[in-house]
Amino acid sequence: MLLQYSFIIPVFNRPDEIQELLQSFETLEGDMSYEIVIVEDGSTQTSRDVVETFTKKLNISYFFKENSGPGDSRNFGMKHAKGNYFIILDSDCILSKQYLIEVEKSLKIDFVDCFGGPDAAHDSFSNLQKAINFSMTSFVTTGGIRGHKKSINKFQPRSFNMGLSKKAFEDSKGFGRIHPGEDPDLSIRLWNLGYKTKLVPEAFVYHKRRVSWKGFYKQVFKFGMVRPILNTWFPSTKKATYWFPTLFSLGLITAILLFAFGFKWLLIGYGLYFVIAFILALFVAKSVIVSILVMPAILIQFFGYGYGFLKSTFAVSILNKNPETHFPNLLRYKIKFNDFF
């Protein structure tokens, strides 16, 4: 089957990011044809003027719609795309030059209807963004499974860098209402429909991270909140490892309390962990400043995700609360499937 690629990019009030992303398309290597579909999700700061500067160089379609969230915007873009294989990107990504070559190569060798690629930190990123990127992707945290682990039977692609065939989109009806968490929700539903997913390690993007500690905490807190909801919807996907950030955080609090009573070995163990993380960050980032910033990044990631996971688990699994009424901010968007199918 001849693959015709359509890049689907939802955007909300981020024209500067769209400009950087489209600039990276200009440096893509390979002779594969593709189109770019930009979906403006009700922005007040639109990307229209930025997109128009690239229309003579790139095959771009631009759509403006009322705000309905990233999942619905991706569905909208795929519905209006001309290709038979969609590649979904976040607006805060930058493509590597070999990206499309690696995608094409991987799908020719082992075709799947859904793939995911990892993310990396670009040299131009701030020290904070590089530190958060390390925390989110390193194997010493919970991040390694997202982008660097090859021996995963069922990889869950993330929507900042995801490929999806048109057939799989039509059968699954695309992304659902939950946000964040719409990408693992889609992956699980695809598995239940008999589709396979995989990681393409070489098809990486440079993914910008949150530019403040507060924004990063809010992000990982929501990640923790949605996982128990997904576990309720899909009980077979429950894993003990999802408890790791919560147990890590509770263990650290316990270690500090025990240290006050003269028991120091548990806190020493945590100290050794952070020393190892610092050394690894220094090896990867080659920056003392970034390595120092990795320490609070790890703490925020574990405590934010861990608290969100514990809070949501207690509400959904212990108190049997309905997620839609108890956490309306996580399921506030209405997906208009009938508009697409």
Spatial separation of the C-alpha atoms in residues 95 and 46, rounded to whole Å: 22
Give the pLDDT score at 143: 63
CA nearest to 100, candidates 150, 32, 23: 32
Tell me if the bond preceding 10 is cis, omega within 30° of 0: no
CA nearest to 134, candidates 223, 209, 205, 204: 209
Give the pLDDT score at 333: 59
CA nearest to 290, candidates 121, 152, 45: 121
Spatial separation of the C-alpha atoms in residues 307 and 200, rounded to whole Å: 31
Give the pLDDT score at 148: 46
Give the pLDDT score at 221: 96
**Would you kindly state where each structural domain of the chain is located, as residue ranges?**
5-211, 228-330
pLDDT of the chain, 341 residues: tens digit per residue: 789 999 999 999 999 999 999 999 999 999 899 999 999 999 999 999 999 999 999 999 999 999 988 999 999 999 999 999 999 999 999 999 999 999 999 999 999 999 999 888 888 789 999 999 899 888 888 764 444 445 444 788 999 999 999 999 999 999 998 889 999 999 999 999 999 999 999 999 998 876 789 999 999 999 999 999 999 999 988 888 899 999 999 999 999 999 999 999 999 999 999 999 999 999 999 999 999 999 999 999 999 999 999 999 999 999 999 888 888 888 865 555 444 44
With H, G, I as helix, E, B as strand and everything else as coil, classify residue 235: helix
- The contacts of residue 16 (CB under 8 Å, 6+ apart) are none
Give the pLDDT score at 208: 82
Distances (CA, A) of 294 to 107, 156, 275: 35, 25, 11
Give the pLDDT score at 338: 46
Q: What is the DSSP string of 143-174?
A: -HHHHT----SS----TTEEEEEHHHHHHHTS
Decide the pairing of beta strands 161-165 and 85-89: antiparallel
Give the pLDDT score at 264: 95
CATH for 5-211?
A: 3.90.550.10
- What's the predicted TM-score (pTM) here? 0.86
Spatial separation of the C-alpha atoms in residues 41 and 12, rounded to whole Å: 5
